[in-house]
A and B are shown apart, each in its own frame.
Chain A
């Protein structure tokens, strides 16, 4: 490159080189990637081995943060198990719901377009602060949910967000409600299944349930695989709903890993410890993703492989 560049070509010639144009076009992205992802990524790796209170320079402390995490910080394991439970419950429910809705919406009627949009709307707004606050109001002690229950003559004094038994459930319901994006992906996959498969099955006398399990489900396993990985990662990184709705309460039953990390890093000014926690979570997510990938050969069907 450099050798060519110095050969006395004019600036205009050099700027017109296809590569240069390409680089210029991706420059904003590269800058963003470096500034907001790559550099912080490696900085946090370094900080994980330091004590850093933001106000003074970081001090190298070796593995101390990790020792504190595993053996001293009780809330570390609490938050880890809460997050694990959250992912374990939310992911299957969300995938099932989105698959069911996708199945229903795959039948084309005149209003299908509107329904698809309507079901997708929660996902568009879902991660926003406003919706989290709306959820908080809905499930408040004097909120709409309790009022409706009261109208129906049911007990209306349930502390949805204040009861350690129900609080996590409320947050999971918010997560499940935002099924739109996985639904759309499922929908596209279902639409992609050649109609001839179903026609042949109908001729053979297969009912809708049989056809779902024998044709639809196997054909969309690659998409199921994709959605599963996405949702698992998303659940482990959950933050908004707990931070905004419950603040980790009651009794730490909704203390997501991310919220605990945030509290330590930004309220106690323990940036080094926060970075160490983040890196541990990265490893956990990587392990789960690897596990799912490993298992995929047993249940994911790729037509191209013809197995």
Chain B
């Protein structure tokens, strides 16, 4: 009995030791890949990766994914542990931070020798993946911030929403919808850094100055107006009262809480899939006295290669597959936004499903002159601190704890500028 057990245990030991050896004997290059996204994206990406492995039988991709919230913790922990995934998704907001901390591998040499073929990609799009003139990331596609809305409700009530609503048109619709359905607006009461950015862009300003050493504006009125609009909407009954949200997830919020919501154009399919509702999109509302569009076209996300990776050549093959291979886009369509290669754009437009066509048409519309204003620089590493700070003040305003909005706005500006000034300068 004892002997059998010992034998079994040693067998087990031998097996566990031998297993990795067996798989490496097949001489496949193993790459790890990490991304964030919804279930829709996970399913499509896994299918796309299977296609890639079919075409490159010597490469084996080990997939891992997460939701947006957990992603940045997971990625940072893996990087710190020296276990960075060979290939990973990157966001415009984090690009500068990861690039200046030497986490990302430069891609310029691969682009020069053609292993990452960018002949059909416009210079402007490549630039979005650059930090200090070095290309660290390749965009997965172009998208734009959008206002998702409940088309079913708009139609049922016999209303109409313009493709580019003004703030007062948006408020009118919200009032009518709140009266008829009880659904309110969470957009008008959001008061986040993103919303402030939209409002600033309407006047040709930006959240940060060129070098992100301070905020891009001094006048507190932009913040005060945003807060005042939120309070007015709350008082008039069409803005969400803080604490009355019922949704457990962002998807749910379009079912239970709000008739419209700010997201990105490539997320339309995910919202339709998970709510089962007829959701459509228009542009972000522009303020009534806007001089420029709030909307911008941006890289929806990037693929990056880790500086730590020892298999960069194989990883570049995947980036190239994603950028230039029609078979990749046959599977994923425009879920990671409209392809950056003009050839792939033409290819996908032929076989898009209904949602994909809507997304493509939207980007085309946003690309028309005047419908979008130029993209800002990537956010600084301390953006999350600035955004949290604004969130703190906005919450107090929405709970009506603050009487003097202007003084509070000035205080935010001062504190935000302090954070930006004391931030470590990117080398």
Contacts and interface: CB of A to CB of B under 8 A. Distances in A.
Interface of A: 53-56, 75, 133, 136-137, 140-143, 159, 161-164, 249-252, 263, 266-269
Interface centre among B80, B256, B382, B395, by most chain A C-beta atoms within 10 angstroms, is: B80
5 contacts: A55-B97, A140-B248, A143-B246, A162-B243, A251-B399
Contacts of B243: 141, 159, 161-163, 249-250
B29 interface: no
B245 interface: yes
Interface stretch (B71-79, B129-137, B317-325): B71-79
A159 B246 CA distance: 10
B404 interface: no
Interface in B207-250: 241-246, 248
A142 B256 contact: yes
A54 B396 contact: no
B246 A56 contact: no
Given A141-B245, A250-B242, A250-B243, A55 B98 contact: yes
| Contact residues on B (Cβ < 8 Å of other chain), bracket | 20 to 34
Contacts of A161: 243
Contacts of A163: 243
Given A55-B79, A55-B80, A164 B244 contact: no
B279 interface: no
Nearest to A59: B424
Nearest to A271: B80
Interface of B: 72-73, 76-77, 79-80, 97-98, 101-103, 241-246, 248, 256, 381-382, 384-385, 388, 392, 395-396, 399, 401
A54 B80 contact: yes
B101 A55 contact: yes
A140 B385 contact: no
Contacts of A55: 76, 79-80, 97-98, 101-103
Contacts of A54: 76-77, 79-80
A97 B384 CA distance: 42
Nearest to B256: A142
> Shortest 4 CB-CB distances between A and B: which pairs?
A162-B243, A55-B101, A159-B243, A54-B80
A35 B309 CA distance: 25
A54 B384 CA distance: 15
Contact of A251 (B77, B80, B102, B396): B396
A137 B252 CA distance: 13
Contact of B101 (A56, A133, A142, A263): A56
Contacts of A137: 248
Given A53-B101, A250-B395, A266-B72, 6 more contacts: A55-B79, A55-B101, A140-B248, A141-B245, A162-B245, A250-B242
Contacts of A162: 241-245
B238 to A, nearest CB: 16
Contacts of B98: 55
